[in-house]
Structures are given as C-alpha cells and as structure tokens.
Amino acid sequence: MKIFNSLTMTKQEFTPIEPGKVSMYVCGPTVYNLIHIGNARPMIVFDTFRRYLEHKGYEVNYVSNFTDVDDKIIKAAVEEGVTAEEIAKRYIEECRKDMAAMNVKPATTHPQATLEIDGMIEMIGELIRSGHAYEKNGTVYFSTRSFRSYGELSHKNLDDLRSGFRDLKVSGEEEKEDPLDFVLWKPKKEGEPFWTSPWSDGRPGWHIECSVMAKRYLGDTIDIHAGGEDLIFPHHENEIAQSTCANGVPFAHYWMHNAFLNINNKKMSKSLGNFFTVRDIAAQYDLQVLRLFMLSAHYRSPLNFSADLMESAKASLERIRNAAERLRDAAANGPDRELSDRERGILETAQGFTARFDERMDDDNNTADALSVIFDLVRHANTNVQDGAPKALAAGVLDVLTELADVLGLIVLEKKEDLDSEIESMIEQRQAARKARDFATADRIRDELKAKGIELLDTREGVKWKRI
Ligand code: AMP
Ligand code: ZN
C-alpha cells in the first residue's frame, strides 16, 4: 500500500512500526461552534482510510483530539455569558452527534486538551531543560533555531519566512528571540481560564497540545499523522519540532493532508463566513450523500461544493441502494438451489471486485476510483443477477457490495432493527389517528406501510404486522 507522504512529497510504500498495527493521529476541531462541512472533510477521508486499514487486517489505534481551550472558545463564552468549559462541552457533544450521523467511527481515544495539561507542563519543562525553549515574563517560547530540521515538512525557505514575520509583529511577542519562535505557554489575561505552572498562571499554546496527546496515547514515534493542508505550517511543523526535541526520536513516519473543501472556488471557513454546517446539510440530505460526495474526489484534490454535485451524489447513492435492495429481496425470496456453472462464474466475478477495489485504495487512498469499482459491481449485479436468481448468488453478490461500501462508510441497506422500529412507530401513529377518528391519516399510513411490503392484521391482542 502506498501513501503520499507530505514530508517527502512522494508516494511511499507503507510499512508500520509494528507489523499488523497502525498508530494514527488526526488533528480534530476547535470546539466553539457547530462543525462545518470543511471540517467534515478530514473526518470523513481519514475515517475511510482507517476503515480501509482495518479491512486489510490492521489493528488501528486512532486518536483524534478536541481543542477545548482557545481564544475563539473564550470569545464565544464571553459573548454568551457562560464559561469556556460550557461552550466546549456543548460543541464536543454536538460534534460527536455529527460524526455519528456521518457514520464516522468514534476514535479509539478522543483526548481533550484541558484534561492533558500536566503532560504539557512536563513536556515544556523538558524542552526548557534541553535548551529548546526559553521563558520571558511568564511566556515560554520554542526556540526554532535550536531544531536543525525546522521547516522540513512545509518545505519553506526559513529566511524568507523570518523576514516576512519580522514585519508582521504580534503585540506582546516582541520579546521572542527569533520571529519564527512560537508560544508553548502563555500567561492568562483577566477572566480567562488558567492552570498553574512553574512559569505563570496561564494556558498552553495550541501546538503543544497535539504533541502531548499523540505521545500519551500513541507513543513517541507514530505511524501516520493527518489533518487538513492548512495545518502543515505552522501547526504540524511545530508539532514535529516539539516532539522530536522532547522525545529524541522522529515523530511521525507518514504525514497525510487533505486539500480544502471550497465553495465558489474559495476556501470554506468560519472566518470568511462562507460555510455550511453539517447540520445545514442534514436538513436537506441524508448525510450519507455528503459522505459519498466527499469520497468522490481524491482527498488531496480541492473539492468545490455545489448543489449539482450533491444531487449527483444523491443519485449515485440511490443507484447503489436500489441494487442492494434488489439483491436482498432475491436473497430472501429466490430459489434455494445449487448454482449453475454460469451463476458460479457471475459470483466469482463479483468477488473479484474486492481485489480491484483494494488496488485503488492501495494507491494513496484513492476513494474516487474505489467508488467507480463499486459502480462497476452494481452494473454487474444489475445485468447478471435478475429477480428469481438463486438465493446463494444474490446473497453472495450482496455480501461483496455491502463489504466494499462499508469500507467507505456507506450504509447501503438500512438495518433491520431500524426498519422494525420505524414500522412500529408508524403503526402507533396510525392507531393514534384512528383513536382521534382521523381516518384519512390512518388510511394514508396503512397505504405507506403497504408500499413498504407490510401487511397489518387487526387481532384481539392489538395490531400485528408481517412482511409480505
Ligand atoms: P479547525 O477547527 O479550524 O482547527 O479545523 C479542524 C480540521 O478541519 C483541520 O484538520 C482543518 O485543516 C480542517 N478544515 C477546516 N476547514 C476546512 C476546509 N474548508 N476544507 C477541508 N478541511 C478543512
Ligand atoms: Zn494538531
């Protein structure tokens, strides 16, 4: 399997540190608002990559943080007159709901910055002791000149950057020894949340959070570190500097970065105000449509959000689902007999699609081409597995389709339990309508149930139902 490594700017064969295991860290959102669909892009593409690693048999330790202390969170708290903690807690909960709705698996661990402050103080102390950081008036800075490889990930010319930064002075940071030095710890301002440290009552800088959480949950050297491409500089460059200097070993072997989700060919971002939240989209579409839309482009290509592309993703999802439903019906109702040679051939061809799918995914997580393989499989099924096909053929083809779709996190068949509870709730609504003598509604619900293949039986013990 090959991964495009931003560090070397080449596609490299993936070799994990420990055979059969993968440690992966993905920078998560700053929680001061509902997440937008730009934030959803790394969640979906790296969740898909994780699912693919698991499909290949790897055990994946997947860590993704919540940044829950930050200027923007404090500002939101002041505006609402609540604590920063309350804002963070609320939006972590909302974010988890959005992730579940997008069928993004929960990480093995979702650490929160505010619960890891001790580890940060310890790492900062270590960096000071080893001469990689210095303190000025309660603020601790990382000394970028102390790390020879600084700039290696972003491939930046440091001298250009230094002169650029010299013109762009941030007030309060005049005491930095070098314009590229960055904050590890800063003193609190009035009314801000703070923690006690040897340098001041204050809070950590953003970059140190990820170095510490990656170390704690994954170890000093990790296999894969991922995030949006805007994080390459300075965030990931700074994470590498901190971790390498504190731990004395390389930080991450592979760096993966997704390109931006744009709108009207401009970056979708909270600060520009040109964004849709995941909730906005959920009001209009099944979020599986959003997921398929995201996966229809290569993760390293910019993707422009548009109503047309969403409609086309919706139609694609329906095509897959219709095929899956037809196969399910055939598997339930078809004749239970041995397959003919021709039918065995059809099934084997279908099973061969897994290798084609894996080949595409092995090429740097190429979900767009992997999706095309799924459409080819759908075409194969529609052409060769007719109604009345034997159970074993339909069930076998369906297994391949659901397995490949599941690697992409696409749900092609509603779960039977979900369907059952939906039917039961419709029956309850119909009973309520009848009780209220609203027979028109009661009849409409009966017809809807009939269209789903559900027959109602009025019995002495109440209404029973069966699939016909
Ligand atoms: P933030 O909350 O801004 O730190 O972003 C959380 C994650 O979303 C980071 O990995 C960002 O790189 C990513 N991200 C933010 N906006 C976009 C966008 N428009 N397209 C793709 N990724 C984004
Ligand atoms: Zn990070």
Q: What is the pLDDT of residues 96-151, one digit of tens each?
A: 999 999 999 999 999 999 999 999 999 999 999 999 999 999 999 999 999 999 99
Model confidence at 169, pLDDT cuts 50, 70, 90, reads low
Q: pLDDT at position 271, please?
A: 81
Q: pLDDT at position 466, please?
A: 81
User: Which residues form the pocket of ligand 1, taking CB atoms under 6 Å from any ligand atom?
Assistant: 27, 29-30, 38-39, 41-42, 227-228, 230-231, 258, 260-261, 267-269
Each residue of 180-235: pLDDT tens digit? 999 999 999 998 999 999 999 999 999 999 999 999 999 999 999 999 999 999 99
Q: pLDDT at position 301, please?
A: 98
Domain boundaries, the chain: 2-258, 311-407, 416-467
d(CA 401, CA 343): 17
Q: How far is the CA of 207 from the centre of ligand 2 (A)?
A: 6
Model confidence at 167, pLDDT cuts 50, 70, 90, reads low
Pocket test for ligand 1, best of 26, 64, 230 (most atoms within 8 A of CB): 230
Model confidence at 168, pLDDT cuts 50, 70, 90, reads low
CB atoms within 10 A of CB 149: 12
Domain 311-407 = CATH 3.40.50.300: no
d(CA 20, CA 194): 41
**The model's pTM:** 0.89
Q: How far is the CA of 449 from the centre of ligand 1 (A)?
A: 43
DSSP line for 420-468: HHHHHHHHHHHHHHHHTT-HHHHHHHHHHHHHTTEEEEEETTEEEEEE-
d(CA 457, CA 163): 80
CB atoms within 10 A of CB 321: 19
CATH architecture label of 2-258: 3-Layer(aba) Sandwich (3.40)
Each residue of 41-53: pLDDT tens digit? 999 999 999 999 9
Give residue 357's identity as a one-letter amino acid code.
Answer: F
Each residue of 260-280: pLDDT tens digit? 999 988 889 888 889 999 999
| pLDDT, averaged across the chain | 94
